[in-house]
Chain A
Amino acid sequence: MEKTISNQRKASNILKRFGLLLVLVLMVIVMSLVSDVFLTTGNIINVLRQVSINGILAVGMTFVILTGGIDLSVGSVVAVTSVIAGNLLQKGYSLPVTLGASIGAALLFGVFSGVLIAYAGLPPFIATLAAQTIGRGFALVYSDGRPYMIAHDTYKAIGKGSWIGIPVPIWIMAVVILIAAVVLRYTTFGRHVYAFGGNRNASKLSGLNIRTTEMATYIISSFCAALAGTILSARISSGQPTAGQGYELDAIAAVAIGGTSMSGGIGHLSGTILGFIIIGVLSNSLTLLNVSSFYQDIVKGFIIIFAVLMDLRTKRSGN
């Protein structure tokens, strides 16, 4: 008797996660029928490379949203990383120095938001909105509004190169996902993130240092944004102050589609992965079908609503 209950619960859990997978499988089946390019190795790799930037951002965003927060600054942090790297490479600094400075600057933004949220008590929405405009403004002031051309070959390889046939951005994304999965599942910090998002007061009374936990998630998110900014600038061979505009919304969309609760405490990295792959496959499909990118945004909006509605329904029937 008890076994059947837990089995049923397990079944409904799997269904919940499979629901999303089902959406993806359906999309793939339909696309493979209407397009003979879709299921080629070339196109699959293409999709994965295209999603790599949003994928990395979405992984960082998952940590933040699991605490019940939100990070609106990632798009601007992408731009900050990108202009600093562009400028330093033009001035002839070595790769380690460049990466250290560009990624370091991005981390400072994470610390900035984190301190405002965890220590000064600002709502995450407000603090990261401020960080977003400050970051964008900084990138524009720093570069005087002009892009830096990047000629450094090794740096460019981060975005354009490939290893055993697979583009470097995909490798980076894979490593980021792997580390995040291990952190969330096997470390005490991962548990703290879930606990904090579920009930911060109870977490504190249980002896967790909730401020460091909360702040750390914003630093993680900024680090992911720095990686994304590096990949982007390397890929387009230029450090652009306007890069990354609106990227935060795609990352949030991926996490939301993936079923992570916006109020925190509940969610899985696997959901986020399905989320950004679905978004990627969707844009790829619509492009293959010659649908204008303007329409793509509209469709994406409806997919978000559909996915989250599905999620709400499965959760409700679960109760």
Chain B
Amino acid sequence: MAEECILQTKGISKSFFGVNVLNEIDFSIRRGEVHALMGENGAGKSTLMKIIMGIYHADAGEILFEGKPVVIRETKNALDLGISMIHQELNPIPEMTVAENVFLGREPHVGRLPIVDFKKLNQMTQDLLEKYEMADRISPQMHMSSLSIAQIQMMEIIKAVSYNSKVIIMDEPTSSLSESETKQLFKTIDLLRASGVGVIYISHRMAEVFELSDRISVLRDGSLIETIDRAHATTDHIIATMVGRALSSGYPRNHAVPGEVILEAKGVSGAGFEDVSFQVSAGEILGFAGLVGAGRSETMRAIVGYDRMKSGEIYVDGRRAAVRHPSDALKLGIVMASEDRKSLGLILCRDIKENISIQNERRYSRFGFMNHRQEREQCEGIAHEMSVKMNGIADIAGNLSGGNQQKVVLAKCLLTHPKIMILDEPTRGIDVGAKAEIYKKMVELAEGGMAIIMISSEMPELIGMSDRILAMSGGRVRAEFDNRERQTSQAEILRAALKGVE
């Protein structure tokens, strides 16, 4: 039993600022197994993985690799042992080719000369790609900058196996993948499993975890609550373990009766989208379906004035509106929470209060001077309303978990009291508990008369939440579905979302 474990942690504990983040974690990964690691944001998953990768150091406990205690001081030690991690945010060097990235720092040389043997380099990469059946989708000489997120991920996996990795950690690998790309990834994971690699799979997506994993471990508040075989697990049981309480599954129902049309776009075009028209009414949740790159985010960014719109018209409350800058949109009551929290949503190095207040300063400033007391009260109020978990609004945004960051983004949008709120992938990368809270809030807002536009790549969420669904592909709207009965079929939407693509 013990010898089939490649990697084991024993009694790993870690605390930051006197707060226990991990409590005596005993975790193991066997040869040729996919071990799913689940837990709410902030449960300690990333911290545990960072300790295994040598980015953080445990306060107590030990790590055994193939039965022997090892010391992992830095990432290099982990890589040398054969442990790699595919991060949620991938950072390749865009000017280089796939092969150059895979063997970065380990390039084969021509004889003993300091000259890279490109022929051999490409051949080595090609061999790996063929072994893992990726050769039809990615080739050694492709430039990183031309690759899709899925292809970059493949490159990262090839890179990991090129280190002869025995353990590969994947952090939310499917969060930016389309369904066909996800299938391809699962095939690769099966091949890894077959060749004896242990995969630690971090994900919030229940269906994937059940499809893929051999064992499931659940972390909650820094403790490993349980590790069970997939065969013995049920979704409800896992969710209950994760949140420590029973959670109503499914989606809350929007009971609002759609009112007047608030926002109408007529034939808007710009970079990445063509001739997009739609309407959204007060109290309505309008879903946008499509694959990554369908032009949904681009359309919305142009509507709020972040990107240029080449042609087309926007009407707010029936009146023609000129939106040249996000500040114009704000005045009209249109606000957008971007899918990209790090680059468009938050100012990570500043605190929660400033992040919320930056979009709302006219509420508590006069002649350019801030009223600090009002600012604090309002920001604190909305942060509590969104139940952001924090020590206080002086917490730095970058130190919050993903779900909490998302709540701060929503808080700053909500404080503007918008009439139209555009949510781009509002639940990406966040845990089930926070997801449920966000769904509830969306329905509450719609029932209060707000028009909500939601872009989502998760079909069940889209079907569960939207009153109407528009499917986009190739920058155009391909179909519209009435979804009041929440019964649109995934296949139908997918067919529309694939139009003109494959």
Q: Which residues of A contact B (CB under 8 A)?
A: 1-2, 4-6, 8-9, 186-189, 191-192, 194-195, 198-199, 201-209, 261, 265-266
List B residues 342-397 near A (Cβ within 8 Å): 343-350, 354, 357-359, 361, 365, 368-370, 372, 391-392, 394
Judging by beta carbons under 8 Å apart, are B344 and A201 in contact? yes
B16 smallest CB distance to A (angstroms): 9
CA distance A150 to B346 in the complex (A): 53
Other-chain contact of A188, B18, B345, B349, B370 (Cβ < 8 Å) = B370
Q: Is B336 an interface residue (CB 8 A)?
A: yes
Other-chain contact of B17, A9, A188, A198, A206 (Cβ < 8 Å) = A9
Q: Which residue of A lies closest to B326 (CB)?
A: A207
Best-surrounded residue of B344, B347, B350, B372 (most CB of chain A within 10 A): B347
Other-chain contact of B412, A194, A206, A261 (Cβ < 8 Å) = A206
A291 smallest CB distance to B (angstroms): 39
Q: Is B316 an interface residue (CB 8 A)?
A: no
CA distance A6 to B19 in the complex (A): 11
Q: Is B182 an interface residue (CB 8 A)?
A: no
Other-chain contact of B18, A5, A191, A199 (Cβ < 8 Å) = A5
Contacts of B394 in A (CB 8 A): 6
Judging by beta carbons under 8 Å apart, are B338 and A208 in contact? no
Judging by beta carbons under 8 Å apart, are B347 and A198 in contact? yes
Contacts of A6 in B (CB 8 A): 391-392, 394
Given contacts A191-B361, A199-B343, A265-B350, is CB(A206)–CB(B391) below 8 Å? no
Judging by beta carbons under 8 Å apart, are B327 and A208 in contact? yes
Best-surrounded residue of B18, B338, B350 (most CB of chain A within 10 A): B350
CA distance A2 to B390 in the complex (A): 9
CA distance A4 to B350 in the complex (A): 21
Contacts of B369 in A (CB 8 A): 186-188
Q: Is B304 an interface residue (CB 8 A)?
A: yes
Q: Is B87 an interface residue (CB 8 A)?
A: no
Other-chain contact of B358, A1, A2, A191, A261 (Cβ < 8 Å) = A191
Q: Can you list 26 A-B pairs, Cβ within 8 angstroms, ordered by A?
A: A2-B392, A5-B17, A5-B18, A9-B17, A187-B365, A187-B368, A188-B361, A191-B354, A191-B361, A191-B370, A199-B343, A199-B346, A199-B349, A202-B343, A202-B345, A203-B358, A204-B306, A205-B336, A206-B359, A206-B412, A207-B327, A207-B329, A207-B330, A209-B327, A265-B349, A266-B349
CA distance A177 to B418 in the complex (A): 39
Contacts of A4 in B (CB 8 A): 18
Q: Is B320 an interface residue (CB 8 A)?
A: no
Q: Is B325 an interface residue (CB 8 A)?
A: yes
Contacts of B346 in A (CB 8 A): 199, 202
Judging by beta carbons under 8 Å apart, are A207 and B359 in contact? yes
Other-chain contact of A205, B17, B326, B368 (Cβ < 8 Å) = B326
Q: Which residues of B contact A (CB under 8 A)?
A: 17-19, 304, 306, 325-327, 329-330, 336, 338, 343-350, 354, 357-359, 361, 365, 368-370, 372, 391-392, 394, 412
Interface contacts beyond A202-B344, A204-B306: sample of 8 additional A-B pairs, CB < 8 Å, sorted by A: A1-B18, A4-B18, A5-B391, A188-B365, A188-B369, A206-B358, A207-B326, A265-B350
Q: Which residue of A lies closest to B362 (CB)?
A: A188
Judging by beta carbons under 8 Å apart, are B17 and A208 in contact? no
Best-surrounded residue of A2, A191, A265 (most CB of chain B within 10 A): A191
Contacts of A207 in B (CB 8 A): 325-327, 329-330, 359
A147 smallest CB distance to B (angstroms): 41
Judging by beta carbons under 8 Å apart, are A265 and B347 in contact? yes
Other-chain contact of A201, B329, B343, B357, B370 (Cβ < 8 Å) = B343
Other-chain contact of A187, B345, B354, B370 (Cβ < 8 Å) = B370
CA distance A207 to B354 in the complex (A): 14
Contacts of B306 in A (CB 8 A): 204-205
Q: Which residue of A lies closest to B347 (CB)?
A: A198
Contacts of A202 in B (CB 8 A): 343-347
Other-chain contact of A195, B304, B354, B365 (Cβ < 8 Å) = B354
B123 smallest CB distance to A (angstroms): 40
Contacts of A206 in B (CB 8 A): 326, 358-359, 412
Q: Which residue of A lies closest to B17 (CB)?
A: A5
Judging by beta carbons under 8 Å apart, are A198 and B392 in contact? no
CA distance A186 to B367 in the complex (A): 11
CA distance A269 to B343 in the complex (A): 27
Contacts of A5 in B (CB 8 A): 17-19, 391
Judging by beta carbons under 8 Å apart, are A195 and B347 in contact? yes
Judging by beta carbons under 8 Å apart, are B348 and A205 in contact? no
B37 smallest CB distance to A (angstroms): 23
B302 smallest CB distance to A (angstroms): 12
CA distance A202 to B361 in the complex (A): 15
A269 smallest CB distance to B (angstroms): 16
Judging by beta carbons under 8 Å apart, are B17 and A8 in contact? yes
Q: Which residue of A lies closest to B366 (CB)?
A: A188
A185 smallest CB distance to B (angstroms): 8
Q: Which residue of B lies closest to A5 (CB)?
A: B17
A40 smallest CB distance to B (angstroms): 41
Best-surrounded residue of B327, B349, B365 (most CB of chain A within 10 A): B349
Judging by beta carbons under 8 Å apart, are B391 and A205 in contact? no
Judging by beta carbons under 8 Å apart, are A198 and B326 in contact? no
Contacts of A204 in B (CB 8 A): 306, 325-326
Contacts of B370 in A (CB 8 A): 186-188, 191
CA distance A183 to B180 in the complex (A): 53
CA distance A204 to B392 in the complex (A): 26
CA distance A256 to B304 in the complex (A): 37
B257 smallest CB distance to A (angstroms): 31
Judging by beta carbons under 8 Å apart, are A195 and B412 in contact? no
CA distance A272 to B62 in the complex (A): 45
A149 smallest CB distance to B (angstroms): 42
Give 10 nearest A-B pairs by CB, closest first: A198-B347, A207-B327, A206-B359, A207-B330, A199-B347, A265-B349, A207-B326, A198-B349, A188-B361, A206-B358
